[in-house]
Structure 1
Amino acid sequence: SNFYRNQQILTFYGIRKFESVSRSKYNRVEKNTESVKIQQQTVAAPIFNWKDIDVWLYILSEKIDFNDAYRLGYDRVGCYCCPNNNSRAQFLSSIYMPDKSTAWRNFLIDFAKKIGKADAEVYVDSGKWKARQGGNGLAAAKTVKLQFTNCTSEEHSKIYKLFKPYDDELINMFTPFGKVAKDLGQKLLQETIILDAKSNVPILSLQPFMQDGYEHAVKVKTLNVENHDELQRLAGYQIRKFNACRRCLKCESLCRTGAISIIGDSYYIDPEKCVHCYKCMNAKYLAGGCMMDKYLRTK
């Protein structure tokens, strides 16, 4: 997305609707904001309606090389541990790669026990482990769940749990709201004030905070607005990004001015380029404020 900021991108996939139930629900050409990760991307699947016989006739007639695993009896070739593998593929894997197959089964059984399944072996061998788990059992799942307490001493203030120390990266996350003004906050409290982009009126106050049960925390106070809850909701989006970002680049692709850069472990919003359009905080494009909320959220 960095290379083609304002250009439409056409991407081709080799998927077919007959490959799985989930893929049968896709469209041959997809533009939906929820389905397409890179925002200016249009995804097309030219062979979407092809059946297996169509693919093989094309491969054989054109003398195209193909994976030798098909010669061993596999009807689908991918990762040996893929949950989309059928029982036939699992059986063949147990023959051709017994060590990996056994190690994978043992891993699944241990994981099933970890998430509290009563009969872990039956759960694994019956294929129930293949159901989408979200972030169930993963340590990363806790980072997408916003944990906060209401401040008892100040109105319109919430204290949010952070999973890493309060720092300039978190403060920078609030650039879309307006001007970040560290000099206007109370220095003893390490407070930062955010000024509304249009009116220059203070609308947010941020400060690191000590809270029982939280190793790291930030207090967010909303100021001079009619809808404090809405502003806190958007602030929560940015805190979720700070806690949960796995550098998926969705935010980067949403920004039409190229203000958002996600490089290595760093998420940065350039205040010189940001036009405060709130697109990176719009639930239409990012439900929950972060793509990881979709992938790691548990019921």
Structure 2
Amino acid sequence: MFALEELPRIPDFTERAICELFELYASIESVQLPPQSSDATNSSSATAPGNIFSAERGPRYLGPRALVRFFTELGVDMRSLAALAFAWLGRWQYPCHCREEGFARGVRYALWALDRRQHNEPRRWEQVQATCSTLLETSIWPRESTALFERLRSAFPDAVLSYTQRSAEAALDFYLFAFDLNRQSPYRRSLSLTDARYLWKQFLSESCYLATPASPGTPAGVANQPWRYLEHFDAYLESRCGMAGTIISRDTWYWVLMFARETQVAGSSFFANYNQGDAWPVLLDGFVEYLRENKLLSS
């Protein structure tokens, strides 16, 4: 399982500023939810928000109204990959509900990313930790919540998304987290086609999520380009939107990214040996038929 790098300890006064920032948004809306399980985002037994049968009440969370205000004031769309990356860094358990520790964790990662940018990244974490005492007086480590918020707002999307783009493994973990957080309920391991389509348009338009561990490079013609079949895939999905009961399983979600990675490099030559008897999901079998029927494989 992918694990984010451990971060060095940050100054105590910045920790206090993070707590103050959380309290500021908690004053807008905070809720108490059941304690998190050890693997909440991947567990079908996780308790849903507002479950009246749960006797235990866990730590405080920022609720939807507070999070909408937080991201709006940052200038970030709450449904964007940047907001999702903040949730990934904080390992949110529930959509639109951010635990206090998850909030602090996400902010810490953002601050260390900004530190890397300020000191001509990349710097080794050992170097950062060794020089931490000299960094306490720099603007990277705010002492007050207002200064902290302005620091985050200066480059929030780049800071949080940088962690998702550091390796193919990180990108895959982020991609799978998007499914787990956005599935229809904690008791169902599926996404609606509408939600999946919205997320696919974001993920598959970014070349950094299309690189593979074995061959991180891509041909010059498609480097830094969206998935070459994204427009056709979205049109194919739109044609299926009216089909009752069309849902996306986690397995299908995973294989769509693998399919996109393969075809981004191989192009139309990939389809010469495509076999519906292989392990590809039915959704992708249908997409290949759609491409062939509409004579789109040469594009």
Under TM normalisation by the shorter chain, which class is it? under 0.3
Q: Which has the higher strand share?
A: 1
Higher percent of residues as helix: 2
TM-score, normalising length from structure 1?
0.24
Q: Which has the larger radius of gyration?
A: 1
TM-score under structure 2 length normalisation: 0.24
